[in-house]
């Protein structure tokens, strides 16, 4: 018994190439401007973690005990004024520095 597949003729899902609206980079540029201070704060935090053994140890210790609010408070104590979201597991801490609804910086730091 033999089966033969009769191919369907080629047909595009959309018969015409996409027509896109003109781009307006204003919002994109505004987000980039708003991101600059967040980048600065990320640098401050990274520098504090890199240079202070005690600060780094306290963050790791609080995270190990699942004290998320303590971890956030320690991060804020480094001079961070942006909204902070923190998640962690035994291998990594992920710190999001959020500037309202336009942008965020995510720091992912391995600690094991």
Query: What pLDDT, in 10s, does the model give residues 42-87?
Result: 999 999 999 999 999 999 999 999 999 999 999 999 999 999 999 9
- Give the SS3 label for residue 94: strand
Q: Which of 6-15, 83-92, 100-109 comes out lowest in average pLDDT?
A: 6-15
> So what's the pLDDT on residue 66?
95
Q: What are the backbone dihedrals phi and psi of residue 103, each rounded to the nearest 5 degrees, phi first?
A: -165, 165
């Amino acid at each position: 018994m033999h089966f033969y597949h009769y191919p369907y003729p080629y047909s595009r899902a959309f018969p015409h190439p996409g027509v896109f609206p003109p781009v307006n980079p204003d919002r994109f540029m505004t987000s980039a401007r708003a991101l600059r201070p967040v980048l600065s704060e990320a640098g401050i935090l990274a520098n504090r973690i890199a240079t202070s053994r005690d600060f780094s140890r306290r963050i790791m210790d609080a995270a190990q005990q699942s004290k998320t609010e303590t971890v956030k408070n320690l991060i804020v104590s480094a001079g961070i004024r942006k909204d902070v979201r923190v998640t962690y597991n035994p291998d990594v801490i992920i710190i999001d520095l959020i500037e309202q609804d336009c942008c965020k910086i995510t720091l992912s730091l391995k600690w094991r």
